[in-house]
Amino acid sequence: MSNHVLSLSDVDIFQMDNLILKDVNLNIDKGEFVYLIGKTGSGKSSLMKTLYGDIPLKKGKGSIVDFDLARLRESEIPYLRRKLGVVFQDFKLLTDRTIQDNLKFVLKATGWKNKTEMQDRIDTVLDKVGMKTKGFKYPHELSGGEQQRVAIARALLNDPELIIADEPTGNLDPQTSVEIMEVLQTINKNGNTILMATHDYALILKYPSKTLKCDDGEVFEVVQKTV
Ligand SMILES: Nc1ncnc2c1ncn2[C@@H]1O[C@H](COP(=O)(O)OP(=O)(O)OP(=O)(O)O)[C@@H](O)[C@H]1O
Protein backbone atom coordinates (compact mmCIF):
# COMPACT_ATOMS: atom_id res chain seq x y z
CA MET A 1 0.00 0.00 0.00
CA SER A 2 1.21 3.49 -0.84
CA ASN A 3 2.47 5.61 2.02
CA HIS A 4 1.51 8.84 0.25
CA VAL A 5 -0.65 11.32 2.10
CA LEU A 6 -0.48 13.60 -0.92
CA SER A 7 0.33 12.81 -4.51
CA LEU A 8 0.15 15.16 -7.50
CA SER A 9 1.07 14.12 -11.04
CA ASP A 10 1.19 16.44 -14.03
CA VAL A 11 -1.02 18.93 -12.23
CA ASP A 12 -1.58 22.47 -13.50
CA ILE A 13 -2.59 25.06 -10.90
CA PHE A 14 -4.80 27.95 -11.97
CA GLN A 15 -6.12 31.17 -10.45
CA MET A 16 -9.29 31.72 -12.44
CA ASP A 17 -8.04 31.11 -16.00
CA ASN A 18 -4.43 32.06 -15.30
CA LEU A 19 -1.94 29.22 -15.24
CA ILE A 20 0.17 29.69 -12.09
CA LEU A 21 2.13 26.40 -11.85
CA LYS A 22 2.63 23.84 -14.63
CA ASP A 23 3.23 20.07 -14.53
CA VAL A 24 3.46 19.79 -10.79
CA ASN A 25 4.65 16.38 -9.63
CA LEU A 26 5.09 15.77 -5.95
CA ASN A 27 4.52 13.22 -3.23
CA ILE A 28 4.39 13.63 0.51
CA ASP A 29 4.63 10.53 2.66
CA LYS A 30 3.10 9.91 6.04
CA GLY A 31 5.26 11.44 8.77
CA GLU A 32 7.20 13.86 6.56
CA PHE A 33 7.82 17.54 7.32
CA VAL A 34 7.98 19.41 4.01
CA TYR A 35 8.68 23.10 3.38
CA LEU A 36 7.24 25.01 0.45
CA ILE A 37 9.25 28.09 -0.47
CA GLY A 38 9.30 30.64 -3.29
CA LYS A 39 9.09 34.37 -3.69
CA THR A 40 5.88 36.38 -3.31
CA GLY A 41 3.41 35.56 -6.06
CA SER A 42 5.20 32.35 -7.08
CA GLY A 43 2.12 30.22 -6.34
CA LYS A 44 2.57 28.71 -2.86
CA SER A 45 -0.87 29.75 -1.61
CA SER A 46 -2.49 28.75 -4.92
CA LEU A 47 -0.96 25.27 -4.60
CA MET A 48 -2.12 24.94 -0.99
CA LYS A 49 -5.62 26.18 -1.86
CA THR A 50 -5.85 23.48 -4.52
CA LEU A 51 -4.93 20.92 -1.87
CA TYR A 52 -7.73 21.90 0.51
CA GLY A 53 -10.34 22.27 -2.21
CA ASP A 54 -10.49 26.06 -2.42
CA ILE A 55 -9.29 26.01 -6.04
CA PRO A 56 -10.55 23.18 -8.28
CA LEU A 57 -8.02 20.84 -9.85
CA LYS A 58 -8.70 21.13 -13.58
CA LYS A 59 -5.74 19.30 -15.08
CA GLY A 60 -3.66 16.36 -13.90
CA LYS A 61 -4.11 13.80 -11.14
CA GLY A 62 -4.18 14.57 -7.45
CA SER A 63 -4.95 12.55 -4.39
CA ILE A 64 -4.85 13.85 -0.85
CA VAL A 65 -5.74 11.85 2.25
CA ASP A 66 -7.63 9.43 -0.02
CA PHE A 67 -9.66 12.11 -1.82
CA ASP A 68 -9.41 12.41 -5.60
CA LEU A 69 -8.91 16.16 -6.16
CA ALA A 70 -9.87 16.03 -9.85
CA ARG A 71 -13.26 14.52 -8.96
CA LEU A 72 -13.83 16.38 -5.73
CA ARG A 73 -17.44 17.52 -5.42
CA GLU A 74 -18.41 20.68 -3.58
CA SER A 75 -20.35 18.56 -1.08
CA GLU A 76 -17.22 16.53 -0.24
CA ILE A 77 -15.07 19.53 0.68
CA PRO A 78 -16.14 19.62 4.36
CA TYR A 79 -15.17 15.93 4.67
CA LEU A 80 -11.79 16.60 3.04
CA ARG A 81 -11.20 19.52 5.45
CA ARG A 82 -11.91 17.23 8.39
CA LYS A 83 -8.94 15.07 7.42
CA LEU A 84 -6.72 18.12 6.98
CA GLY A 85 -5.64 20.72 9.50
CA VAL A 86 -5.13 24.13 7.93
CA VAL A 87 -3.15 26.88 9.66
CA PHE A 88 -2.93 30.43 8.29
CA GLN A 89 -0.58 33.37 8.77
CA ASP A 90 -3.35 35.48 10.33
CA PHE A 91 -4.65 32.77 12.74
CA LYS A 92 -8.32 33.22 11.74
CA LEU A 93 -9.74 32.74 15.24
CA LEU A 94 -13.31 33.88 15.94
CA THR A 95 -12.86 37.10 17.91
CA ASP A 96 -16.26 37.10 19.63
CA ARG A 97 -15.69 34.00 21.75
CA THR A 98 -13.14 32.41 24.06
CA ILE A 99 -10.48 29.93 23.01
CA GLN A 100 -12.53 27.06 24.47
CA ASP A 101 -15.55 28.21 22.47
CA ASN A 102 -13.51 28.62 19.29
CA LEU A 103 -12.50 24.98 19.57
CA LYS A 104 -15.96 23.80 20.61
CA PHE A 105 -17.40 25.58 17.56
CA VAL A 106 -15.18 23.50 15.25
CA LEU A 107 -15.99 20.25 17.04
CA LYS A 108 -19.74 20.88 16.83
CA ALA A 109 -19.45 21.86 13.16
CA THR A 110 -17.66 18.59 12.47
CA GLY A 111 -20.24 16.39 14.12
CA TRP A 112 -19.10 16.00 17.74
CA LYS A 113 -22.01 15.79 20.22
CA ASN A 114 -20.85 14.36 23.55
CA LYS A 115 -19.90 17.22 25.91
CA THR A 116 -17.36 15.25 27.96
CA GLU A 117 -15.63 13.95 24.84
CA MET A 118 -15.52 17.46 23.40
CA GLN A 119 -13.99 18.87 26.59
CA ASP A 120 -11.42 16.05 26.74
CA ARG A 121 -10.39 16.69 23.13
CA ILE A 122 -10.12 20.45 23.70
CA ASP A 123 -7.95 19.88 26.80
CA THR A 124 -5.76 17.44 24.86
CA VAL A 125 -5.06 19.74 21.92
CA LEU A 126 -4.54 22.83 24.10
CA ASP A 127 -2.09 20.81 26.20
CA LYS A 128 -0.18 19.79 23.05
CA VAL A 129 0.50 23.44 22.21
CA GLY A 130 1.15 24.58 25.80
CA MET A 131 -2.12 26.55 26.15
CA LYS A 132 -4.13 24.42 28.56
CA THR A 133 -4.45 27.17 31.17
CA LYS A 134 -5.57 29.91 28.73
CA GLY A 135 -8.77 28.42 27.33
CA PHE A 136 -10.97 30.98 29.11
CA LYS A 137 -9.32 33.93 27.32
CA TYR A 138 -10.51 35.77 24.23
CA PRO A 139 -8.21 35.89 21.18
CA HIS A 140 -7.44 39.62 21.70
CA GLU A 141 -6.14 38.80 25.19
CA LEU A 142 -3.42 36.58 23.70
CA SER A 143 -0.13 37.42 21.99
CA GLY A 144 0.32 36.60 18.30
CA GLY A 145 2.38 33.53 19.18
CA GLU A 146 -0.28 32.31 21.61
CA GLN A 147 -3.01 32.85 19.01
CA GLN A 148 -1.02 30.79 16.53
CA ARG A 149 -0.64 28.02 19.13
CA VAL A 150 -4.42 28.00 19.47
CA ALA A 151 -4.80 27.91 15.67
CA ILE A 152 -2.51 24.86 15.63
CA ALA A 153 -4.56 23.27 18.41
CA ARG A 154 -7.69 23.90 16.33
CA ALA A 155 -6.02 22.23 13.33
CA LEU A 156 -5.30 19.17 15.50
CA LEU A 157 -8.87 18.71 16.77
CA ASN A 158 -9.92 16.03 14.31
CA ASP A 159 -6.53 14.28 14.30
CA PRO A 160 -5.71 15.29 10.71
CA GLU A 161 -3.74 13.11 8.33
CA LEU A 162 -1.99 16.20 6.93
CA ILE A 163 -1.44 19.68 8.34
CA ILE A 164 -1.19 22.45 5.75
CA ALA A 165 0.37 25.58 7.21
CA ASP A 166 0.52 28.68 4.99
CA GLU A 167 3.26 30.93 6.40
CA PRO A 168 2.35 30.17 10.03
CA THR A 169 5.19 32.34 11.34
CA GLY A 170 4.67 35.18 8.85
CA ASN A 171 3.24 37.58 11.46
CA LEU A 172 5.56 36.64 14.30
CA ASP A 173 8.91 37.91 15.57
CA PRO A 174 11.97 35.63 15.19
CA GLN A 175 11.91 34.29 18.78
CA THR A 176 8.17 33.54 18.67
CA SER A 177 8.61 31.95 15.22
CA VAL A 178 11.12 29.53 16.72
CA GLU A 179 8.67 28.70 19.53
CA ILE A 180 5.90 27.97 17.02
CA MET A 181 8.32 25.92 14.97
CA GLU A 182 9.17 23.88 18.08
CA VAL A 183 5.44 23.15 18.49
CA LEU A 184 5.19 22.03 14.85
CA GLN A 185 8.35 19.92 15.17
CA THR A 186 6.98 18.16 18.26
CA ILE A 187 3.68 17.49 16.51
CA ASN A 188 5.58 16.09 13.53
CA LYS A 189 7.72 13.86 15.77
CA ASN A 190 4.49 12.53 17.28
CA GLY A 191 3.41 11.36 13.83
CA ASN A 192 1.60 14.24 12.08
CA THR A 193 2.56 15.00 8.50
CA ILE A 194 3.16 18.70 7.81
CA LEU A 195 3.41 20.85 4.67
CA MET A 196 4.50 24.38 5.56
CA ALA A 197 4.89 27.38 3.26
CA THR A 198 7.44 29.86 4.52
CA HIS A 199 9.65 32.80 3.59
CA ASP A 200 11.76 32.27 6.67
CA TYR A 201 15.04 30.72 5.54
CA ALA A 202 16.51 31.04 9.03
CA LEU A 203 13.90 28.52 10.21
CA ILE A 204 14.76 26.15 7.36
CA LEU A 205 18.45 26.31 8.27
CA LYS A 206 17.66 25.70 11.96
CA TYR A 207 15.24 22.84 11.23
CA PRO A 208 16.38 21.34 7.91
CA SER A 209 13.87 19.18 6.07
CA LYS A 210 12.66 18.29 2.58
CA THR A 211 12.08 21.54 0.69
CA LEU A 212 9.96 22.22 -2.40
CA LYS A 213 10.33 25.47 -4.30
CA CYS A 214 7.84 27.33 -6.52
CA ASP A 215 9.77 29.26 -9.16
CA ASP A 216 9.00 30.43 -12.66
CA GLY A 217 5.77 28.44 -12.91
CA GLU A 218 7.26 25.17 -11.65
CA VAL A 219 7.63 23.25 -8.40
CA PHE A 220 10.80 21.29 -7.71
CA GLU A 221 12.67 19.84 -4.76
CA VAL A 222 15.78 21.76 -3.72
CA VAL A 223 18.81 20.61 -1.79
CA GLN A 224 19.49 22.61 1.33
CA LYS A 225 22.53 24.61 0.17
CA THR A 226 20.72 26.10 -2.85
CA VAL A 227 17.69 27.23 -0.82
N1 LIG B 1 -7.89 35.35 -6.02
C2 LIG B 1 -7.03 35.49 -7.06
N3 LIG B 1 -7.49 35.75 -8.31
C4 LIG B 1 -6.64 35.86 -9.36
N5 LIG B 1 -5.31 35.75 -9.25
C6 LIG B 1 -4.79 35.52 -8.04
C7 LIG B 1 -5.62 35.37 -6.87
N8 LIG B 1 -4.83 35.13 -5.81
C9 LIG B 1 -3.56 35.14 -6.28
N10 LIG B 1 -3.52 35.36 -7.61
C11 LIG B 1 -2.32 35.41 -8.46
O12 LIG B 1 -1.73 34.11 -8.49
C13 LIG B 1 -0.32 34.20 -8.45
C14 LIG B 1 0.22 33.34 -7.31
O15 LIG B 1 -0.21 33.90 -6.06
P16 LIG B 1 -0.08 33.11 -4.69
O17 LIG B 1 -0.84 33.87 -3.66
O18 LIG B 1 -0.36 31.68 -4.90
O19 LIG B 1 1.51 33.26 -4.43
P20 LIG B 1 2.33 33.02 -3.10
O21 LIG B 1 3.61 32.34 -3.54
O22 LIG B 1 1.53 32.33 -2.09
O23 LIG B 1 2.65 34.50 -2.64
P24 LIG B 1 2.90 35.07 -1.15
O25 LIG B 1 4.22 34.55 -0.73
O26 LIG B 1 2.89 36.54 -1.36
O27 LIG B 1 1.76 34.60 -0.29
C28 LIG B 1 0.04 35.69 -8.33
O29 LIG B 1 0.37 36.14 -9.63
C30 LIG B 1 -1.25 36.31 -7.86
O31 LIG B 1 -1.37 37.61 -8.35
Tell me, what CATH number does 30's domain have? 3.40.50.300
Ligand 1 centroid, distance to 134 Cα (angstroms): 35
- Provide the pLDDT for residue 47: 98
Predicted pLDDT at 19: 97
Q: Which residue range is the domain that position 115 belongs to?
A: 93-160
Query: Is residue 188 one of the residues assigned to a domain?
Result: no
Same structural domain, 143 and 216: no
Verify that 14 and 76 share a domain, yes or no.
yes
- Same domain? For 79 and 97 the reply is no
pLDDT at 223: 84
Same domain? For 98 and 113 the reply is yes
Give the distance (Å) from ligand 1 centre to CA of residue 14.
10
The reply to whether 88 falls in a domain is no
Domain's final residue, options 113, 136, 160: 160
Contact predicate 202/28, CB 8 Å: no
Q: If you write DSSP's letter for every residue of the chain in order, what string do you get?
A: ---EEEEEEEEEEEETTEEEEEEEEEEEETT-EEEEE--TTSSHHHHHHHHTTSS---EEEEEETTEEGGG--GGGHHHHHHTEEEEETT----TTS-HHHHHHHHHHHTT---HHHHHHHHHHHHHHTT-GGGTTS-GGGS-HHHHHHHHHHHHHTT--SEEEEESTTTTS-HHHHHHHHHHHHHHHHTT--EEEE-S-HHHHHHS--EEEEEETTEEEEE-GGG-
**Cα torsion angle, 180, 183, 185, 191, sign:** negative
Best residue for ligand 1 mutational test, from 46, 166, 171, 199 (most atoms within 8 Å of Cβ) = 46
Distance CA 76, CA 71 (A): 10
Query: From first to last of its 227 residues, what are the pLDDT tens digits of the chain?
Result: 578 999 999 999 999 999 999 999 999 999 999 999 999 999 999 999 999 999 999 999 999 999 999 999 999 998 999 899 999 999 999 999 999 999 999 999 988 999 999 999 999 999 999 999 999 999 999 999 999 999 999 999 999 999 999 999 999 999 999 999 999 999 999 999 999 999 999 999 999 999 999 999 999 999 866 55
Residue 185 lies in a domain: no
The atom number, within ligand 1, closest to the CA of 199 reads 25
Residue 27 shares a structural domain with residue 78 = yes
Q: Which atom of ligand 1 is nearest to the CA of 42?
A: 21
* ipTM > 0.85 for the complex: yes
pLDDT of residue 121: 97
- Residue 176 C-alpha to ligand 1 middle, in angstroms? 26
* Distance (Å) from CA 44 to ligand 1 centroid: 8
Q: How far is the CA of 42 from the centre of ligand 1 (A)?
A: 7
Same domain, 145 and 55: no
Which residues form ligand 1's pocket by a CB distance below 6 Å? 15-16, 18, 20, 38, 40-46, 214
Nearest atom, ligand 1, residue 47 CA: 18
Q: Structural domain tally of the chain?
A: 2
Which atom, in ligand 1's list, is nearest to the CA of 49? 18
The pLDDT of residue 2:
75
Same-domain status, 10 and 101: no
Same domain? 54 vs 147: no
Residue 135 counted as domain residue: yes
Let me know whether 60 and 168 are in one domain.
yes
| Residues 145, 168 share a domain | no
